[in-house]
Amino acid sequence: MVNREQHEASSQPMGHESGGTTAGQRRGLRNVPACLLTFAILFCLWILLSGRFDAFHLTLGVISCIMVTLFSVDLVFPEGSLQGIGGTWLRFLGYVPWLLYQIILANLHVLYLVFHPRMMDLIEPEIIRFQSKLHSDLSLVTFANSITLTPGTITVYVSVDGDFQVHAIDKKSGEALPGEMEARIARVFGEQ
């Protein structure tokens, strides 16, 4: 098994991106700060979910958190480094209230549509295509989920290079895209 993986890795052309990431994931285990941070997050979650503070449960928690940390540190920090993570999280926390505000506004709009007696005249479903400027997987996923959460629009299809298809329920919901939301997400993930 190991031999075959090595063979595949060596058969890839030099500088190929996927080859680089697998090598990075192998080294991820030795990444101490990322491990510690993952462990801290998991342990907070353990305490929150168990709610017991006696030695037995805390020991169980430490053991299982260490195991899960070893399994999943590569998933939590794919780049294997902490650089820029804190800033991204802070900016993301700043993005959440704005998103909530948008969700409430847009929910009221859909609620108005639902209870409007002449609903059929107001809605105008349409599939919109546009090209997003975002690059990384995480920002694309955030953008797609934000679009779906903002009522009036559902993401139908996203491609890796940012080709979006969005189902909008009326003209007004569709016009707002990509617009401000994309700009804000670009700022959060540092993709100006």
Cβ neighbour number for residue 96 with a 10 Å cutoff: 10
Phi, psi of 156 (to 5 degrees): -90, -40
Burial of 28 (0-12, 13-18, 19+ CB in 10 A): buried
Q: Of the two residues 70 and 76, which places its CB atom closer to another protein in the complex?
A: 76
Smallest gap from Cβ 110 to another protein, in A, equals 6
Closest CA to 153 of 126, 121, 191: 126
For 4, left (φ over 0), alpha (ψ -120 to 50), or beta? Answer: alpha
Q: Of the two residues 81 and 145, which places its CB atom closer to another protein in the complex?
A: 145
Stretch that binds another protein, among 12-20, 54-62, 63-71, 153-161 (CB under 8 A): 153-161
Q: Is 76 one of the binding residues for another protein (CB under 8 A)? A: no
Q: Of the two residues 62 and 127, which places its CB atom closer to another protein in the complex?
A: 127
Stretch that binds another protein, among 2-10, 14-22, 54-62, 117-125 (CB under 8 A): 117-125
Q: Of the two residues 169 and 186, which places its CB atom closer to another protein in the complex?
A: 169
Phi, psi of 64 (to 5 degrees): -70, -35
Peptide bond connecting 78 to the previous residue in cis, omega within 30 degrees of 0: no
Size of the site for another protein (CB under 8 A): 33
**What type of residue is 109?**
H
Q: Is 67 one of the binding residues for another protein (CB under 8 A)? A: no
Chain contacts with another protein (rule: CB under 8 A): 48-49, 51, 103-104, 106-107, 110-111, 113-115, 119-120, 123-127, 144-146, 148-152, 154-157, 167, 169
